[in-house]
Structure 1
Amino acid sequence: MPIETIYGNLQGLKTSQLKQLQRIYHQRLPGDRLTTPEFAQRLAAISSEIEQPVSAYVNRRGQVIRVGVGTVRQTQIPPLELPRYGAERLSGIRCITTQLKAEPPADSALTAMALQRLDALIMLTISSGGFQRRGGGATGYVQSAYLAHLVPHPEANWTVSPPVSLESLSQQDFLDLVEGLEEEFRREYVARQVSPSQDRVLLVGLLTEKQSLHQFNNLMMELGRLVETAGGDVLQVIHQKRSRPHPQTVVGEGKTEEIALIAQTLGANLVVFDRDLSPVQVRNLEQRIGVRVVDRTEVILDIFAQRAQSGAGKLQVELAQLEYMMPRLAGRGQAMSRLGGGIGTRGPGETKLEVERRAIQKRIARLQQEVNQLQAHRSRLRQRRQHHDVPTVALVGYTNAGKSTLLNALTNAEVYTADQLFATLDPTSRRVAIADMDSLESIQIVLTDTVGFIHELPASLMDAFRATLEEVTEADALIHLVDLSHPAWQSHIRSVMAILSEMPVTPGPILLVFNKIDQVNGDTLALAQSEYPTAAFISAGDRLGLETLRQRLVQLVQYATAQ
């Protein structure tokens, strides 16, 4: 890109006028001054001649790095071309711009200043009462100036000075101003106790006509939990109501600008959307916001990448990531070089986005072959159990319903548990002997803990984890565990049943079990008991109702094996 490129609205400009604009690049300002009278008058002269605002962007060495025709918003530097210092630093660039009216900077100019985290915005107002004449040409002069800059206060993003004379403005110490501002931003940044290893995340949700407000709020809460599970720090939740997603940016243009401004103000380095994004949408959003943008599926894949412990789990995670990545290679643009660490960038195996499509296809084919071998191995294990007439029961349910805790309580196993989404990923099977109170004989049962389900489970995960999900379809019976303490427990039941209905093989009989009854009030418990009178009610953590559950489990297995 030529160093003397003129940006903005160039329509109708003469060659001589373009040359005058290009000469601005040859100017050099003192490093400790906002501007000089000579530089300001030169901008004013060109601006009055073409009858349009002119903007010059200057770095801290006093070099002009960008010249544009039009407002600050029309000539602003794209976010991805700006240095990324975080919320404690300014960009190291100031904008000196002209305005044909004697009025303070408009909100659009101040917003553009904030989006670029400019050191300062100097607005020169050009006289409207007449022009100085030089060689018969009309030349405007600077009547007054406004100085605007960002401030690290939550109640205001910026401050604007009263109109000052050009002489007064030129005498201000620029370095003293920016060093003082950055020290304030640094103190504010440290006061927030920000961990440098955590992604600082903005959540963005779109409420459409297909959703109720209650459903939308529950899904946004879940997205926040997913981000926190992945290791992110949620700074703010932003939402917009639209009849349908915008094809280019999901949310509208104004909301996109608002997200960019909030990201700059809060120092966010990641924006997470509540829905799958197309490659074009990701590219457009990253260009306009200036930080990484990922969708809900990428967050889930990232959690799976962190949680996978066994070779089989890592294998399936890699397959899911590559299958998700494959259709998104074309058109990612700047996003192709986003692998700097953080949510959406982790995972075992070949996960570099720079890998050629053909190589990825070969890798996917090989991984699918290994998954098929894994399926065959697990099938042999299941046949061996069936040969010994040991019935199997799979624990299914929404993520974080307490399946691993229940497995530990019933079998005295030591499976990892945590109050997190997808705390366990790899399936675990344990044998347990339960005494039948009627026959006084012990019945051997194999309990299998499976990966948690989630609303709109990504298709790539459904396919890649088919070896795990087969534990569900091949089980003699299922225990569908529900977290009754969750405000969306009814929605969770519907989501799990919807996923089970999509299984290639119809699962066996299902026993509905409500968990965490110690954490709910009497009204919620009574509602669940009235809606699901045949269900079991337990607290796996406090071991409440487990003996009753064991007897219901014996009955379930006897019914299943009698079919």
Structure 2
Amino acid sequence: MASVSGNVQGLKNSQIKQLQQLYQERLTSDGVVSLKLAHNLGKLSKAMHRPLCCYLDRRGQVVEVAVGTPEQTQLSPEALPRRSTERLSGIRCIAVQSHAPDQAALVAMLRQRLDALVVLVPAADGAADPIEVAYLAHVVPDIEQPWAVSSPLSLDDLTVEDFNDLLHEWESELRESGFSSDQFQYVQADHDRVLLVGLMTDDLSSHQFQDGLEELTRLVESARGEVVGTVVQKRSQPHPQTVIGQGKVSEVGLQAQTLGANLIVFDRDLTATQIRNLEQTLGERVVDRTAVILDIFAQRAQSQAGKLQVELAQLEYLLPRLRGRGQSLSRLGGGIGTRGPGETKLETERRTIQRRIDQLQQEVNQLQAHRARLRQQREQQEIPVVALVGYTNAGKSTLLNTLTQAEVYTADQLFATLDPTTRRLTLTQTDPEAGTQERHDILLTDTVGFIHHLPPALIDAFRATLEEVTQATALLHVVDLSHPAWQSHIESVEEVLQSLPAMSGPILLVFNKIDQVNSEQLATAQQTYPDAVFISATQRLGLETLRQRLQLDQPTAVA
């Protein structure tokens, strides 16, 4: 017998069988809905205390029965018939829920190109008829509000409508207007089409908020996504359930369908409950800023050590977000009201992830020990180690390549390089009195770039890599002077450094990309940071000054 989809957790076997029997229902080809089907859906929904959806084709045959609202039970692209973009899908949804169709349900109708959405609202307990009122919604050729919803209808009024005539009229309107429902279809792209959502709260200035959105755009592009639009809202604090207000959630859903977005990215961290609520309403995947950063790290990791640390960071991010993922993963215990069949999927997943985290933690500890031995060998050789640190995309790898002829991968991307690289640099110092030259070797280590609000899971997982920073003889803090937010980048890097174990070595501030700034901006930075070095790694400007400051046998050289 055909299966029932949606949230069937907790339903009795007899109730599931009753739902399966709905597949035997058959409507006439010209009927919107039959009284029998409407009454059966109403009675079952009231008995189960859950919304129900029944999907039918144009022959009146039931093709899907699901427990949930229209936005929660959307059909997959494979389940929808392939039809011309000037025509509708040939599938209509009969839904029973406690209220008239809201924007989330209407957006779900749009993205599936449903012939129609019929919403039946149950009557109060004790009423003779299980359905109190009905609504009929359909797609219209209006990009601003591409749907129409009828006024409240009785079942008698609804069942006498000729559905074939209605369909002919609706599709004629779409065809004559040149309106293509293709823009509301599922996006079948080889990359993510991303709609950004930004929330400006009271603790953010307009400048900080805009910088954050621009950085999020770069992050998405670095993760190989395409930003197709941005929706912003200003409110004092995030909504605890949906981050943004309900009206703005509906706007995001409509924008996603209009622009063909298949991924929604928020500019802040989300809880599992918030993600679940948003995905149920929007019908699209929802991720937060940290998830994007972790995805970039997963793409960039090349070495075994890098992949190990990325996996650990991903699991530590995932573990606290297992909660709130829905009723099917809720905990069942041994107390009153919580007795059940034993361990649920949530507990199974949590134990599996925790075991893997423990294993990865042990491997990271081994990696730390291995790198500690390497550092000890370098210390025995008395070779100073200088670590390159800085905001992501500041030009650290390019500087390493220019100074040491290394071949580290570089690109105009955030987190282009992830795995640390160490190269030897020979410095020459001239003694003017003796007329001799002395050669000194140092080791330059390129480290992972920092970013504003670097996820704690990454800091913890990459502690073995970040120890290269804490154990270095000195640090070169590389700053991209051409970036409009270079001052806040300095502050962000300093915050990350302060969160690490104390460092004994000096820090030299190096402003990069001076060839891309005007003289006024350069003068401002030189006046604010008179002890810094100003260079262009690509144009090889100021490198000789930098080499002179790296003469580490002079204690005051790096400050």
1:265 to 1:84, Cα distance in 2 relative to 1, 3 A: farther
Contact persistence 1:484–1:517 (CA under 8 A): yes
8 Å Cα contact 2:90-2:115 kept in structure 1: no
Match of 2:245 among 241, 252, 264: 252
Cα deviation code 1:375-424 (max 9, x no counterpart): 11111111111111111100000001110000000000000001111110
Structure 1 segment 233-252 matched on structure 2, within 5 A:
233-252=226-245
Q: Encode CA deviations 1:321-374: one digit per residue, 9 max, x unaligned.
A: 1111222223323998xxxxxxxxxxxxxxx99963223222222211111111
Q: Secondary structure at the match of 1:81?
A: coil
Q: How far apart, in 2, do the equivalents of 1:402 and 1:359 lie?
A: 40
Q: Is the 8 A contact 2:95 2:118 kept in 1?
A: yes
Distance 2:322 2:76 in 1: 25
Question: Aligned partners of 2:117 and 2:325: how far apart in 1?
Answer: 36
Q: Which residue of 1 aligns with 2:48?
A: none
Query: Which of 526, 532, 535 is the equivalent residue of 2:532?
Result: 535
Specify the SS of the correspondent of 2:217: helix
1:461 and 2:458 matched: yes
- Local SS of the residue matching 1:525: helix
The residue aligned with 1:348 is none
Matched residue type, 2:74: L
Q: Please say if 1:304 is aligned against 2:302.
A: no
Paired letter, 1:490: Q
Q: Is the 2:272–2:323 contact (alpha carbons within 8 Å) kept by the matching residues of 1?
A: yes
Cα deviation, residue 77, structure 1: 2.9
Structure 2 Cα separation of the partners of residues 123 and 315 of structure 1 = 51
Q: 1:339 corresponds to which residue?
A: none
Q: Which residue of 1 aligns with 2:490?
A: 493
Shift of 1:111: 6.7
**Would the aligned equivalents of 1:85 and 1:91 in 2 still touch at CA under 8 Å?**
no
- Partner Cα distance (2:237, 2:164) in 1: 53
Cα deviation per residue 1:102-129 (whole Å; 9 max; x = unaligned)? xxxx9x76774233325244899xxxxx
Distance (Å, rounded) in 1 between the aligned partners of 2:195 and 2:328: 18
- The aligned residue for residue 103 of structure 1 is none
Q: In structure 1, the residue corresponding to 2:202 is in which secondary structure?
A: coil
What SS does the aligned partner of 2:555 have?
helix
TM-score (norm 1): 0.75
Choose the corresponding residue for 1:85, options 77, 82, 88: 77
The residue aligned with 1:14 is: none
Helix, strand or coil at the partner of 2:386: strand
Instruction: Supply the distance in 2 between the matched residues of 1:368 and 1:425 (Cα, whole angstroms).
Output: 19
1:58 and 1:540 map into 2 onto residues whose CA distance is 62
Q: 2: distance between equivalents of 1:306 and 1:168? A: 55
Matches within 5 A, 1:53-202: 59-60=56-57, 61-63=59-61, 77-85=69-77, 92-94=90-92, 112-117=105-110, 119-121=114-116, 148-151=138-141, 154=143, 157-158=146-147, 170=163, 172=165, 174=167, 185=180, 196-202=189-195
Cα distance in 2, alignment partners of residues 122 and 366 from structure 1: 50
Q: Could you say if the C-alpha distance between residues 114 and 150 of structure 1 is closer, same or farther in structure 2, counting changes exceeding 3 Å?
A: farther
2-structure distance, mates of 1:422, 1:562: 27
Distance 1:517 1:461 in 2: 31
- Aligned equivalents of 2:489, 2:3: Cα separation in 1: 57
**TM-score, normalization by structure 2:** 0.75
Measured in 2, the distance between the counterparts of 1:561 and 1:538 equals 17
Q: For residues 322 and 114 of structure 1, do their structure 2 counterparts lie closer, same or farther at Cα, with a shift above 3 Å needed?
A: closer
- Secondary structure (helix, strand or coil) at the match of 1:271 reads strand
2:216 equivalent to 1:223: yes
Partner of 2:554: 558
The aligned counterpart of 1:404 is: 397
Q: What is the identity, as a one-letter code, of the residue corresponding to 1:119?
A: L
State which drifts further: 199-208 or 165-174: 165-174
Q: Which of 446, 452, 458 lines up with 2:443 in the alignment?
A: 446
How many pairs were matched up?
A: 495
| Paired residue type of 1:515 | N
Confirm or deny: 8 A CA contact 2:69 2:105 kept in the other structure. no
- CA distance in 1 between counterparts of 2:542 and 2:25 reads 81
CA distance in structure 1 between the partners assigned to 2:367 and 2:286 by the alignment: 34
2:318 maps to what in 1? 325
- Native 8 Å contact 2:478 2:511 kept in 1: yes
**Whole-angstrom distance in 1 between the partners of 2:461 and 2:77:** 39
Letter aligned with residue 242 of structure 1: R
- Whichever residue aligns with residue 414 of structure 1, its letter is E
Runs of 5+ consecutive residues of structure 1 not aligned to the other structure: 5-22, 47-54, 69-74, 99-105, 125-136, 337-351
Distance verdict in 2 for CA 1:180–1:553, change over 3 Å:
farther
Task: Find out whether 1:517 has 2:506 as its counterpart.
Answer: no
On the 8 A contact 1:94/1:119 being kept in 2, the answer is yes
Deviation at 1:437, TM superposition (A): 3.8
Q: CA deviation at 1:426?
A: 0.4
Report the Cα distance in structure 1 between the residues aligned to 2:443 and 2:53, rounded to whole angstroms.
73
Classify the secondary structure of the residue corresponding to 1:314: helix
Contact 1:283 1:334 in 2 (8 A): no
Q: Once the 2 structures are TM-superposed, how far is the Cα of residue 298 of structure 1 from its aligned partner?
A: 1.1
Measured in 1, the distance between the counterparts of 2:356 and 2:117 equals: 55
Shifted more, 508-517 versus 78-87: the winner is 78-87
* Whole-angstrom distance in 1 between the partners of 2:558 and 2:102: 75
SS of the counterpart of 2:457?
Answer: helix
- Identical aligned pairs, as a percentage? 57
Is 1:265 the counterpart of 2:258 in the alignment?
yes
- The separation in 2 between residues aligned to 1:518 and 1:526, in whole angstroms, is 13
Give the secondary structure class of the aligned counterpart of 2:459.
helix
Give the secondary-structure state (helix, strand or coil) at the position aligned to 2:320. helix
Q: Distance in 2 between matches of 1:292 and 1:91?
A: 23
C-alpha spacing 1:354/1:79, structure 2 compared with 1 (3 Å): farther
SS across alignment from 1:417: coil
Q: Distance in 1 between matches of 2:526 and 2:88?
A: 58
The one-letter code matched in structure 1 to 2:400 is L
- Contact kept, 8 Å, 2:300 with 2:418, in 1: the verdict is yes
* Counterpart position of 1:343: none
> How do residues 345-384 of structure 1 correspond to structure 2 at under 5 angstroms?
356-384=349-377
Supply the distance in 2 between the matched residues of 1:353 and 1:423 (Cα, whole angstroms).
35
Are the aligned partners of 2:316 and 2:457 in contact in 1 as well (CA < 8 Å)?
yes
In structure 2, the partner of 1:472 is: 469
Distance 1:376 1:67, change over 3 A: closer
Residues 399 and 421 of structure 1 are in contact (CA less than 8 Å); yes or no, is this contact kept in structure 2? yes
Change in CA separation of 1:464 and 1:390 when aligned onto 2, cut-off 3 Å: same
AA aligned to 1:487 is P
**1:431 is aligned to 2:431:** no
Deviations 1:426-475 (A, max 9, x none): 00000010112446312111000000001111111111101110111111
Amino acid in the other structure paired with 1:62: G
Unaligned 5+ residue runs, structure 2? 5-20, 43-51, 120-127, 152-156, 330-344
Q: In structure 2, how many angstroms separate the alpha carbons of the residues matched to 1:247 and 1:419? A: 36
